[in-house]
Structure 1
Amino acid sequence: AGAILIAEAHRGITEKERAVLKGFLGEAYAIDKLDSARLATLLPQRITDVKNETAFSQRMQVIRDLCLVASADKPVATGEVLVLNRIAEGLEVPLNFVEQSLDIPSDLD
């Protein structure tokens, strides 16, 4: 849910973002058919579930992966950062980790 909402936060999903999303979601997902309004309503519960069911290091990796989606197009849009920060806060991941992750080149993964 978060990855789609980040990608859509600024001018819709670009081709570069679509490629990153396909890498995470696989070819089976029809990105254009996902209902972003519904995903937005599901996001708070998904954040809670992830926070309650994963270790801190796993939550950090989730944020890192979401930062790869946001970084697909440079510069990262303010709207994308706002969504990232909201998710990070919900997952209790420090916001400076979001900033650091956005500065790391994606080819280091």
Structure 2
Amino acid sequence: MSSESPPLAAGTLVRVRQRTFLVESVLTAPEAASIVSLACVDDDAQGHRLDVIWEAEVDARVIPTGKSAIRPNPTPDDPKTFAAYLHAPLSQPGTTVLEKHRCAPQGAR
């Protein structure tokens, strides 16, 4: 961890073990390593909990506020570009990304 990184505190986004996590709590003690409780924010492991010894993590880093965890340019796509992606057909005719991710009605199980 570099000395220029933002402070580690609850609510901070961090990159640990190739995933993005939200810091839930930081336990520190004089002359002891920090224990950090994390919750994953990646889509495929959302909510997964992890407790780490911050100083022992090989590639742990704090993501500065306003920065993207993945891309160096944090600017989001403009709405027209995103809408084109969202409504683009998938491999099956008549199916869009939006329709694929819709939930089934409450009664249908």
Coarse TM-score class (shorter-chain normalised): under 0.3
- What's the TM-score once normalised by structure 2's chain length? 0.25
- What's the TM-score once normalised by structure 1's chain length? 0.25
Structure with greater proportional strand content: 2
Structure with greater proportional helix content: 1
